[in-house]
Amino acid sequence: MYPRAYAILATLIGCSAAGILSQVGTSTNEIPLAVFHILALWLLIRAVQNRKKTYLLYLAAFIAGTAAGLKLTGASFCVALTAVLLFFLYRFEKTWRLFFLYALCGISGFVLTNGYFMWKNFSLYGNPMFPYYNAIFQSPYFDNFNLTETHFFPTTWIQWLFYPFFWAFTEGTYVSEDAMLDSRLALFLVALIIWIVLIIKNRLGGVKKEVAISLVIYCGISYVVWLVQFSILRYAAVLEALCGMVLIGLCASINKKRWGLYLALFLVGISMWGYKAPEWHHEIFLEQAVVFDKKPQIEDNSLVFFMHLPSSYLAPILNPKATYMGGFFSKIEEYPEEFQKQAAQRNNISAQYYRFDFEELQREKITQHQGPIYIISVDWPMIVNPVTLARFGLQGKREDCQRFVTNFTIYSTDLAICRVQKID
């Protein structure tokens, strides 16, 4: 075997995958969280191989739960990790006690990183996962259905069965906002089927059976959950990272060592052929993530509303002693006529805002607040809209606005912060 060469080639395939490479230099957080999920899988496999090291199971559960708490899209990999444990559970003693402790460690990790935010969501909206799973929690601030992004779902049964093959050799936007082309996940599915055959026939060569079975279960279940729950490329970072291990592992199972290496090199070439990663707004690396031309000054005990398209990334780096809320939205007809066309393009508010209790909550905050009130928007000069402000008992002037710029200019270069006052 060529363990070092195989490791390098597997890493090359995984780390150069379209979804992973496109997220380098972004703040989507899928790459660092993928490291934790893969670490959890490695620890669990080690525990399966050495049944005396059950503490590795608990550590794996805690790490996976912690990662899922940091970003809920990682829950699918927790399901896959648990499936691997259930398959090998017969190997351990006191299985019910072991599984209970495993689950407890996973839940503890999840609560550690997400418990506070779940409590805040529940106290504010009556749904700890708001706005998700509202068919269960039935928050009055959202429709009673389980929200999910369906834009990238397969549309035909052929796509459901063979989705990765649609972007393997033909450029498209199936699972990404931008055009991409990558054959890795298609090769990955083929490799999983071959792995199942090799496991059944016990023809794994130099690959340990526990590792092969664990990879097949983990990757297979992760892929299915990802497909039916998201079908969004950047959420598949763990699968993409493991593609290399699954593909190159097949090469390591070939008894004729040299032929295995040749096949590994061939698979690297195929995965790089016609390859195109999507462009997801990479930012340059800076000592400080957000850079201002002139940082807005906000007094302590201010109430700040973030209006229209995303600007709430400013909250952690403005005054921490202020209170921040999502913005109240102007209706199209409330804008001055010269801004209505632009407002129709910008104002992508969902219907839930008008049907439920958001305005009531915002008015209550405004009425009770005793300090300064600000609104921040990317929509200069539309930001000060007298009709909309009056709906919330506020008034403001453009003279009380300060324009500023940050290095995040995806939506608009024209940001502004305006101090507004309550109408007497």
- In this predicted model, what pLDDT tens digit does every residue of 164-193 receive, in sequence order? 999 988 888 888 878 888 999 999 999 999
Higher pLDDT, 345 or 63: 63
Taking the C-alpha atoms of residue 55 and residue 25, their distance in angstroms, rounded to an integer, is 35
Percentage of the chain beyond pLDDT 90 is 38
Residue appearing with tokens 């104002």: 347
Higher pLDDT, 68 or 266: 68
The pLDDT value given to residue 383: 61
The pLDDT value given to residue 276: 83
Taking the C-alpha atoms of residue 232 and residue 23, their distance in angstroms, rounded to an integer, is 13
Domain residues of the chain, as ranges? 3-272, 303-422
- Written as six digits, the tokens of 204 are 């794994």
Lowest mean pLDDT, pick from 128-132, 208-212, 347-351: 347-351
Distance of CA 311 to the CA centre of its chain: 19
Mean pLDDT, rounded, for 127-142: 86
Per DSSP, 406 falls in state B
Lowest mean pLDDT, pick from 239-253, 279-293, 315-329: 279-293
- In terms of C-beta distances under 8 Å and separation of at least 24 residues, what long-range contacts does 213-216 make, across chains too? 213/87, 213/88, 214/41, 214/44, 214/45, 214/48, 214/84, 214/88, 215/242, 215/245, 215/246, 215/249, 216/192
What pLDDT digit, counting tens, does each position of 372-405 carry? 999 887 666 666 677 778 888 888 887 888 888 8
The pLDDT value given to residue 145: 76
Per DSSP, 305 falls in state E
Instruction: Assign 281 a pLDDT band (cuts: 50, 70, 90).
Output: low
pLDDT at residue 309 is higher than 80: no
- Written as six digits, the tokens of 103 are 């689950």
The pLDDT value given to residue 337: 76
What pLDDT digit, counting tens, does each position of 33-84 carry? 999 999 999 999 999 998 888 999 999 999 999 999 999 999 999 999 999 9
Contact 243, 189 (CB under 8 A): no
DSSP 310-377: S-GGGGGGS-TTSEEEEPP---GGGS-GGGHHHHHHH----HHHHHSSHHHHHHHHHHH--S-EEEEE
Summary mean pLDDT of the chain: 85
